[in-house]
Amino acid sequence: MDKTRSEPASGAATGGVPIQGAQRSPDPATLTTSVLLAIDIGNTNVKLGTFVGPELTATWRLETDSVRMPDEYAVVLDWLLQRRGFSFDDLSGISMSSTVPAMVPIFKELAGNYLPKTAPFIEVKATANTGVTIAIDNPYEMGPDRIVDALAAINLYRVPAIIIDFGTATTFDAIDADGRLLGMALAPGLRTAMDGLFQRAARLSRIELEPPHDVIGRNTVAALRSGWVYGYVGLVEGLVTRMKAELGPETLVIATGGLADYVLSETRVVDVHDPTLTLKGLRLYFERNAPCPTP
């Protein structure tokens, strides 16, 4: 069975708080407008979103599977697009970032076989017109998702900023007041960290990630949940405090990523929660790098 999940779109181009309720289908009057497909491929999930102009109209989440054939992803994507009133022929281009190299040729082949020949396929690269000054030792090491997150923060919010992306790994990106991506801190993701514990501790049974009721657990499950969530909150608060000491006290803290909700309910260090920050950055990157249409 295909592991797909439809998520609420943010609606506003810069809104950092997700809108509750069902997604709207596109207005039929806009169906002649070009539609951009943004694709963010991570180690665990493939996040997709459609943009009509600056508006994010729909988002979805698929499982990252490098064994799946391009035609298999195409079948799922075709079905998802049709549920929003679109087809492959409506797509004016693809903007894609991928931290999984094996997934890139899969989606390139999908685009070549199913999208209009005039639709450009733009892959995020540090060597392109990123709109971000990458000020690390080797700029080519910077992940494409980190680049577009920084681009979105600079253009849609303000700097200096710290971007916390809660995924397979949790990344803390530091952007200074001049819009330079200075570097980052990397930590094991919320689930990844506990996976290691469950694998190496023979007497600990795997549990579901749920909010703890108390800090002091009175049984093994409660103790694990307390350390899991509150321990991770301490990691986040500690790194944010140390980064702000270098960037300045007015630094904006932006959270994104699929596991953010488990931490954000327990801390006040985050100023903005924008679950679709990466997709918005992909739209901005596409606008900077797509070839101009020929008259």
pLDDT at res. 170 = 94
The Cα–Cα gap between 165 and 258 comes to: 8
Q: Find the helix packing angle between 277-289 and 144-156, rounded to 10°.
A: 90
The Cα–Cα gap between 265 and 227 comes to: 15
Per-run averaged pLDDT (10 residues), the chain, 295 residues: 43 40 40 82 95 95 95 97 94 96 97 95 95 94 95 97 94 96 92 71 68 83 83 94 96 93 91 97 96 64
Pick the CATH number of 4-123 from 1.10.3470.10, 3.30.360.10, 3.40.50.1820, 3.30.420.40: 3.30.420.40
pLDDT at res. 11 = 39
The residue count of the chain comes to 295
The Cα–Cα gap between 209 and 46 comes to: 21
pLDDT at res. 4 = 43
Nearest CA-CA partner of 248 in 130, 154, 161: 161
Positions of CATH 3.30.420.40 in the chain: 4-123, 133-280
Helix (H) or strand (E) run with residue 98 in it: strand 91-98
Phi, psi of 200 (to 5 degrees): -105, -15
pLDDT at res. 294 = 52
Residues 6+ apart with CB under 8 A from 277: 149, 152, 153, 163, 254, 256
- The residues assigned a catalytic role are 145
pLDDT at res. 214 = 83
pLDDT at res. 196 = 67
**pTM of the complete model:** 0.84
* Topology annotation, domain 133-280: Nucleotidyltransferase; domain 5 (3.30.420)
* Total Cβ atoms within 10 A of residue 210: 11
DSSP 145-212: HHHHHHHHHHHHS-SSEEEEEESSEEEEEEE-TTSEEEEEEEEE-HHHHHHHHHHH-TTPPP------
Place of tokens 């909010």: 211
pLDDT at res. 12 = 40
Six-digit token pair at 165? 């992306």
pLDDT at res. 186 = 94
